[in-house]
Structure 1
């Protein structure tokens, strides 16, 4: 049985309990106790969460942990908590942090010289406060050796599924994802951002047109095509689209194509030509120019950068 120490610290966010649920479901699915999850604190007893309610914890015992898991929180960690993390981590085969839990790992010196990520809103702060870390702010999770970090909120579940996949296989991880009503586990290299969320269309007509575009990226997707879906004239559609999203329809479609192409580059072994065709760029040269405009790097470089995060990808 794999022993997991789930570190509770004052101000811990209850959102982190969703990560523990992934290991619970892995046990239920296996029909046997694959994981033993222990809620830990330095002295045991109740620990106050960021919402205000307490959670009962136990003090760590003398046995080593297969995984020490640290969730995000809303408060700065005390010197005692930092020293405690450092001590327990020395006895753990793997160490992981979700969301702003990366700050606690950084304070304990466990991220020095490593690649790491955290919630996008705090990533630059993490880099500025701890320059010895290579922070990659646009990543779902990163595994650097035995130390894992993830982005904020639900990205911790992606990290947990990746750990389960490493431990007991991809089919087990897929089964847990299905029970958690997740479409699939995002790979570590996938972006924290969504083009549709950033566009934030307000009317149903523009939302419908964008949803149609996302489903049909391999097609031409002219303004006339999208206007027809939205039941507007091309001129009305272009004006409404610009007013609601701040972008032209052509630029928005390019962003959707870039997002889909980057995900394919990072999640699959499809050739660049195939990715360009399936995401509507048509040819690799056009896709390359779009990648350089958006990311400052060609597709090949982004694919190589994602490979360290794909050692356990499906």
Structure 2
């Protein structure tokens, strides 16, 4: 059985608690207690979160854990000397120490991230890098593992971090079953981007959203304006005008970005050749995909694959 110390701070983000569901479900799926979690805070007792959620905690102390996971408020708050001292001691005793979202600020204040590759919520990545220049902050990763230190992006990325821990501890099959039990459509790998092109486009009407969803589900098709307009139940002229008004870009540009997003994910998470990736994501040939990668990421697909392998 592995023990986990889950450290909460005042005004903690309620979403950070979602990571605990992974360990709970792992115990249920395994039919035995694989993990035992203790929820901690500096003083112990009842601790109130940002929206009034109250959690009963135990005070931090000398108990050694296999894993220590640290959270923070949605807007990072400074830690106390007592908390920093606790985390420094815990890092020496535990197998791994982790931060969810802005918990990276807490670990950084304790001096536990110096010289390491880390991530956090994209909104606070620049602040983290500015305040702690010795860190190698990567603002577009779901989670990063650097030795015994794990850090994740914000909100739901804590679930991805916990699933990765479960896979490391007890194998991919149990992690898959737990993800299914939590009704998670797709367990994201650490190297995946925090951003989604569908969210970035932010279409307001149901018709344009339907066309975007159709495009993402049919990337191998030509996806002409006429085809997308038909999916949106609009004429091509109406569709083009409405699409640009809602997303700020042409349908062709949007389709390219969706293809690049899908291609990047395949390159980072599979062993498919560049030619196969180009074909599966709708690029006419590898050269067109290479030019699209250079426009969007500033580097070719081969460089993206090399970086992903280094991170793994």
TM-score using structure 2 length: 0.95
In the alignment, which residue of structure 2 is the partner of 1:151? 153
- Aligned with 2:93 (options 91, 94, 99): 91
User: How much has 1:156 moved relative to structure 2?
Assistant: 0.3
**RMSD of the TM alignment (CA)?**
1.4
Alignment partner of 1:121 is 2:123 = yes
Q: Distance in 1 between matches of 2:310 and 2:175?
A: 20
SS in 2 for 1:152: coil
Q: Distance in 2 between matches of 1:79 and 1:53?
A: 25
In the alignment, which residue of structure 2 is the partner of 1:233? 235
Instruction: Confirm or deny: 8 A CA contact 1:201 1:207 kept in the other structure.
Output: yes
Q: Distance in 1 between matches of 2:208 and 2:59?
A: 54
Instruction: Confirm or deny: 8 A CA contact 2:70 2:103 kept in the other structure.
Output: yes
Out of 69-78 and 114-123, give the one that drifted further: 69-78
Alignment partner of 1:17 is 2:12 = no
In the alignment, which residue of structure 2 is the partner of 1:67? 67
Alignment partner of 1:191 is 2:196 = no
In the alignment, which residue of structure 1 is the partner of 2:223? 221
Q: Distance in 2 between matches of 1:232 and 1:4?
A: 54
User: How much has 1:85 moved relative to structure 2?
Assistant: 1.8
1:251-301 superposed Cα distances (whole Å, 9 cap, x missing partner): 000010011001111111111100000101121111000000111011111
Q: Residues 53, 238 of structure 1: CA spacing in aligned structure 2 closer, same or farther, 3 A cutoff?
A: closer
User: How much has 1:81 moved relative to structure 2?
Assistant: 1.9
In the alignment, which residue of structure 2 is the partner of 1:33? 33
Q: Residues 52, 236 of structure 1: CA spacing in aligned structure 2 closer, same or farther, 3 A cutoff?
A: closer
Out of 77-86 and 28-37, give the one that drifted further: 77-86
User: How much has 1:213 moved relative to structure 2?
Assistant: 0.9
Out of 300-309 and 49-58, give the one that drifted further: 49-58
User: How much has 1:66 moved relative to structure 2?
Assistant: 0.9
Instruction: Confirm or deny: 8 A CA contact 2:140 2:194 kept in the other structure.
Output: yes
In the alignment, which residue of structure 1 is the partner of 2:45? 45
Long gaps (5+) in structure 1: none
Long gaps (5+) in structure 2: none
SS in 2 for 1:65: coil
